[in-house]
Structures are given as structure tokens and as C-alpha cells.
């Protein structure tokens, strides 16, 4: 089932992947998460080196691959969709034109101006049963455009941005939003200005049927309930490095340091 269909049944949950390890993506899928957030913005991975294998790993285990890009480059966005990504998450969206650029690259006419070729994974490489009409309709219906709300300019232009009919969800980035307005950064949205921006986003998203994505860090049931009550329905339950650091840090504090002290006694 595609992610857009899952969202009709309630909140969806995912993990962000920064390491670029296919085994991590498969683990996310094997554990039953709804989506995996593959990052090209803050990692050495790019659209020509490694991302295809990560998308394939996601598809292999049935978890929806969403890719955060570095910008709205038309060729990159088109190739990500052709590789099999279910959606693109574009950072630092500030204007309605930014959204139009995404739609131009991701959606086929009449919605956008994406170019077509059947020799790509999203089209089954033009194999048995391929029909152009079905492929174009399915891509326009199921692929997701997810701008990021992480700058004060987004709030300044929020109605124009969210009025675009092809916006499926908004990813709220509390860290960069806080940076953009000069307040201390943290995942918890407890600064009044950051909280207002998130509340404004939720107020406009609901009536438009637009999803709201937000980081759930720490990934506890208590904080998840708080975010869902506040209007989020796409929760990022931390990233692979966060969980890795917690794991090896716990082993160090709970075992290694104790054993070292015992050996030195």
C-alpha cells in the first residue's frame, strides 16, 4: 500500500537514514515502519551515488522511500521519481515558486512538466503489462511532494505555498526554523515563535487535507501523543545515527565503564 493510502487510516511513522547503509533501510522496513526518510541534504550521498540502492532496499522490504533532496533541481527530482521514490522532501521552501518548481519536475502533465521514459524502475522498465496511461496516472496520483517549513519566509508566504493543489504534506523542521529567527535550537517546539509557526501550519494543513510531518525526538509514546494531538500525522522517530549513538553510548555507560572500573580496582 502506498503511503498516501496509509495516511487515510491514521498517523504514519518513519525513520530517517543518514548513514547510507542499505542494511539500515532494510531494517527499518523489516520492523514495520511506514516510511524511510533518505537524506541527500546533509550526507555525502547524492542522486548519482548510492541513493538508488537505498530506494531499492526500501522497496524490497515494503517501506515507502521518501528522499530529502538538496534543492529543486529538475533533473535530480525527476531521476529520484524514476528510481522508485514515493516522494520528495525539499528543504528550505520559502515561496510558492519553490513549490511550482517541485511540481514542474515531479508531476506529469497536466499537473507538471515531467519528462517521460519507460526504461525506468518506476515504469517497471516498460515490461509486461506496461501502459503509458496507467503509469502517468499512477505517478501523478501516488507520488508525494513535501516542502519543508523551516524558515520564517515559509510562514510569511504560507497561504500561497499551501494553496498549491499538489502539496501532499509539509515537513516542519524546528531546528532550522529556530535558527532562521535567532532563537535556541531544539527538537522540542517550546519556543513561542517556533510553536506559533507549527500551529499556523497545522491550522492551514487540516482543511486542505495536507499531512504534517515532524520529528519525534525523543521517540517516546508520550511525545508522539503530544505531536499527534498538536496536529502532526507523519512522525519521524529519530534517525539511524541517533539510535546508533544511543545504543553504543548505553553500552559504554552501562557496561564498559563499569567493567573498566572493576578491572582497575
Average pLDDT of the chain to the nearest whole number: 96
Residue with cell 534543492: 71
pTM, two decimal places = 0.95
Least confident stretch, 43-52, 132-141, 252-261 = 43-52
Report the percentage of the chain scoring pLDDT > 70.
Answer: 100
| Contacting residues for 9 by C-beta, under 8 A, at least 6 apart | none
Q: Where are the domains of the chain?
A: 3-240
The CATH number of 3-240 is: 3.20.20.60
pLDDT (tens digit per residue) in 10-28: 999 999 999 999 999 999 9
**Region 230-258: what's the mean pLDDT?**
96
Half-sphere exposure at residue 51, Cβ-oriented, CA atoms within 13 angstroms: 27
Least confident stretch, 45-54, 78-87, 130-139 = 45-54
Measured distance CA(39)–CA(51) in Å, rounded: 9
Least confident stretch, 105-109, 228-232, 235-239, 255-259 = 255-259
Q: Any bridge partners for residue 90, and if so which?
A: 147
Q: How confident is the model at residue 1 (pLDDT cuts 50, 70, 90)?
A: confident
**Region 127-153: what's the mean pLDDT?**
97
Amino acid at each position: 500500500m502506498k503511503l498516501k493510502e496509509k495516511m487515510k487510516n491514521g498517523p504514519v511513522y518513519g525513520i530517517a537514514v543518514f548513514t547510507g547503509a542499505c542494511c539500515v533501510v532494510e531494517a527499518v522496513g523489516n520492523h514495520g515502519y511506514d516510511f524511510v526518510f533518505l537524506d541527500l541534504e546533509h550526507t555525502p550521498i547524492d542522486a548519482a551515488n548510492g541513493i538508488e540502492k537505498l530506494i531499492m532496499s526500501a522497496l524490497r522490504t515494503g517501506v515507502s522511500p521518501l528522499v530529502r533532496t538538496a534543492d529543486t533541481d529538475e533533473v535530480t527530482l525527476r531521476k529520484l521519481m524514476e528510481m522508485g521514490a514515493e516522494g520528495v522532501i525539499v528543504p528550505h521552501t520559502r515561496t510558492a515558486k519553490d513549490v511550482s518548481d517541485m511540481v514542474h519536475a515531479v508531476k506529469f502533465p497536466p499537473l507538471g512538466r515531467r519528462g517521460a521514459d519507460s526504461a525506468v524502475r518506476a515504469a517497471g522498465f516498460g515490461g509486461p503489462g506496461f501502459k503509458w496511461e496507467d503509469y502517468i496516472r499512477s505517478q501523478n496520483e501516488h507520488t508525494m511532494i513535501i516542502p519543508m517549513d523551516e524558515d520564517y519566509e515559509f510562514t510569511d508566504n504560507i497561504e500561497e505555498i499551501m494553496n498549491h493543489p499538489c502539496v501532499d504534506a509539509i515537513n516542519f523542521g524546528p531546528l532550522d526554523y529556530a535558527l532562521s529567527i535567532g532563537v535556541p535550537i531544539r527538537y522540542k517546539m517550546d519556543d513561542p515563535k517556533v510553536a506559533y509557526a507549527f500551529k499556523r501550519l497545522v491550522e492551514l494543513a487540516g482543511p486542505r487535507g495536507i499531512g504534517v510531518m515532524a520529528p519525534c525526538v525523543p521517540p517516546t509514546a508520550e511525545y508522539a501523543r503530544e505531536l499527534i494531538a498538536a496536529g502532526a500525522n507523519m512522525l519521524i522517530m529519530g534517525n539511524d545515527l541517533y539510535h546508533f549513538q544511543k545504543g553504543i553510548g548505553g553500552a559504554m555507560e552501562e557496561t564498559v565503564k563499569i567493567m573498566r572500573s572493576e578491572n582497575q580496582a
